[in-house]
Amino acid sequence: MNKRTNAQTHKRTRILIAKPGLDGHDRGAKIVARALRDAGFEVVYTGLHQTPEMIVSAAIQEDVNAIGMSVLSGAHNHLFKKVIELLKEQDASDIIVFGGGIIPEDDVSELKKYGVKAVFTPGAKTTDIVDWIKANIK
Amino acid sequence: MSDFTTISSKKIKPLYIEEDLKGSDPKKDLGKPGEFPYTRGVHETMYRKKLWTMRMFSGFGTSEETNERYHFLLGHGQTGLSVAFDFPTLMGYDSDQERAQGEVGRCGVAVDTLADMETLFDKIPLDKITTSMTINGPAAVLLAMYLAAIEKQGHKISVAAGTIQNDILKEFIAQHAWAFPPEPSMRVIVDMIEFCTKHVPKWNTISISGYHIREAGSTAVQELAFTIADGIAYVEACMARGMDVDSFAPRLSYFFNAHIDFFEEIAKYRAARRLWARLMRDRFKAKDKRSMLLRFHTQTAGCSLTAQQPYNNVVRTTIEALAGVLGGTQSLHTNSLDETLALPTEKSVRIALRTQQIIAHESGVVNTIDPLGGSYFIEKLTNELEEEAVAYIKKIDDMGGMIKAIEIGFPQREIADAAYRYQRQIEKNEKIVVGVNDFVIDENPSMDLLKITDELQDKQIERLKKVKKERDKASVEKTLSNLKKACEDGSNVMPPLIECARAYCTQNEMMAVMKGVFGEYHDPAIF
């Protein structure tokens, strides 16, 4: 059992922006990280080339409310699902998972079934992401 | 609505007149095509003698699927090959490693051993066709495999013609498919240049790339300046090894983005040629004319395409491709309309290739050289882009050169700032992207997309298993140990790498040896 206490220790919503897998495209992740920071959230950015294990461990250690993952390499199905499974295993399913990237419509519905709460695809505004977090992550 | 700026936020005047060119001298600053400073083109005859090479960046699944795609493209009039590797290959992992799972063949073709390289070019004569390979961190390994594949086709390695991207500096800056830290990375690159200069004379040893810098969100000037500054760093590294500038500089080539801001892009290419020619002559004292030529590949801007109303992407790509051609490119890749959604289907790739063919054979733009040369606007813009790039390069020189600048995160931060600024402009509707923040429709995104299944990963792992079972274990061990020795004692890594490739060592086996000696680079995670 992990002993996370985010509701008690942090007033502000904490978000982990993560780049899982080997994909090096970080323009979107960095823009979202900045936009969330400018919107008043506490943002932790993992940097590139993270395994699902590294991401889940960072999320727990950093005591975040949500993980936002960005994948542009086509490996989203495998990686997003792995992160959700690991969160379950670690008894940390209260951490909300959302994502974005080059993700075809068919895969979006599949990922949502699996527990990814929102998927932002090309053309999404950072303000859409901010609004969604405000509405869905407490 | 519009503030009359370029996509890079550069102010543009309503009219350009003779006075705007006061102080410039057409004889000195333009010259004729094929003459110093090459502003108007690297060749005297340009497209009247030879069209640009139509080179579509392509790869997915295993080497079998990609080989089939190459035959499809060549059958439709493509004139050169360009290999897209998958992420495990780009990062130096084998398909059967844990870190590769879910990524094999997704974003390019999986190449683990020489066997995959042989299949990739099956029935494609590598002594006749030129190949470009987009690989950076493990570039030396993939070049070794390519040269071994040429031997397997019955040729000497000296027939190899083409380009390897091999531009690690822009990996640290923008694309991020790195392997070793900067210093040992530069040593391996100089090894490759030294080796190819002697043994593979028709090979372009680096494709110094602005493309990814731009895709990461830079402005046009930043793309130009950082790319040329990377070029300076490579020239300095080779000269520090004791190589004569004219022995290697003719085989350095460039790779730029063609973004949607038409005139800014054309001016960028013209400024790049002039800037490089002057640098090579005046700063590096090159004597050979070929050392001064900035030859470049162009790819249209992936980041300009939209997932919304995707057929509009054909129009964007056409404008961008035309800018590349009017800017005097030597080869061109045109993106497909569905690439914001997935890797392209055959149908959409064919439209992208046809776009180039229509520009080449129908539009008439190839009839005359540098048709925009002498326009007050284009010449002024060319001058300004060159001046602004020179100022950036001076700043980087003052920091101690590009490697130092990268270490303190200078180019990375400049690009991230520009990317964020542009995103804000779009969200405030200061810049319009059709279908995204204006002219929006309700649409049902139903398109046939290329699907890459998990079965392809399984198939590749099986291929690798078979190779590992059939190869001679003793030669694997011996060649890997020779590679380690070369990494440690400072001798050129290319000969032992080719030995490893011939022995069917896997990519990761070679990379693990090199990382063991050189260390590994990790993302500083600045945003």
Cβ–Cβ below 8 Å for B103 and A48 = no
Cβ–Cβ below 8 Å for B99 and A22 = yes
Look at residue B456 and tell me if it is in a domain.
Answer: no
Cβ–Cβ below 8 Å for A26 and B176 = yes
Cα–Cα distance for residue pair B63/B414, rounded to 1 Å: 38
Q: For strand B252-258 and strand B131-134, is the pairing parallel, antiparallel, or unpaired? A: unpaired
Mean pLDDT of B482-493: 98
- What's the helix, strand, coil split of chain B in %, to 5? 55, 10, 40
Look at residue B522 and tell me if it is in a domain.
Answer: no
Cα–Cα distance for residue pair B220/B210, rounded to 1 Å: 9
Look at residue B314 and tell me if it is in a domain.
Answer: yes
Q: How many domains does chain B have?
A: 1
pLDDT at B406 over 90: yes
Q: What domains, with CATH codes, occur in chain A? A: 12-136 (3.40.50.280)
- Please, what is the Cα angle at B504 between B503 and B505, to 5 degrees? 95
pLDDT tens digits, residue range A114-133?
999 999 999 999 999 999 99
| pLDDT mean for each 10 residues of chain A (138 residues) | 54 94 95 97 96 97 97 93 97 97 92 97 94 93
**B209 strand-pairing partners:** B255
Measured between beta carbons, the chain A residues lying within 8 angstroms of B445 are 105
Supply the range of the domain harboring residue B69. 18-427
Query: Rounded to an integer, what is the distance from CA B15 to the centroid of its chain?
Result: 35
Measured between beta carbons, the chain A residues lying within 8 angstroms of B416 are 30, 34
Measured between beta carbons, the chain A residues lying within 8 angstroms of B215 are 25, 27
pLDDT at B12 over 90: yes
Give me the interface pTM, i.e. the ipTM.
0.90
Cβ–Cβ below 8 Å for A74 and B427 = no
Paired tokens of B172: 């640290």
pLDDT tens digits, residue range B121-166?
999 999 999 999 999 999 999 999 999 999 999 999 999 999 999 9
B89, closest residue in chain A (CA to CA) = A22
Which member of B103, B340, B416 has the closest CB to residue A73?
B103
Look at residue B363 and tell me if it is in a domain.
Answer: yes
Which member of A23, A31, A47 has the closest CB to residue B525?
A47
Measured between beta carbons, the chain A residues lying within 8 angstroms of B101 are 78
Cβ–Cβ below 8 Å for B524 and A75 = no
Give the pLDDT of residue B446: 74
Give the pLDDT of residue A1: 43
Paired tokens of A36: 């969330």
Look at residue B462 and tell me if it is in a domain.
Answer: no
Residue type, B181: P
Average pLDDT over chain A reads: 92
Cβ–Cβ below 8 Å for B102 and A77 = yes
Look at residue B89 and tell me if it is in a domain.
Answer: yes
Cα–Cα distance for residue pair B16/B263, rounded to 1 Å: 13
Cβ–Cβ below 8 Å for B103 and A74 = yes
B101, closest residue in chain A (CA to CA) = A78
Query: Rounded to an integer, what is the distance from CA B357 to the centroid of its chain?
Result: 21
List the CATH number of the domain containing B419.
Answer: 3.20.20.240
Average pLDDT over chain B reads: 96
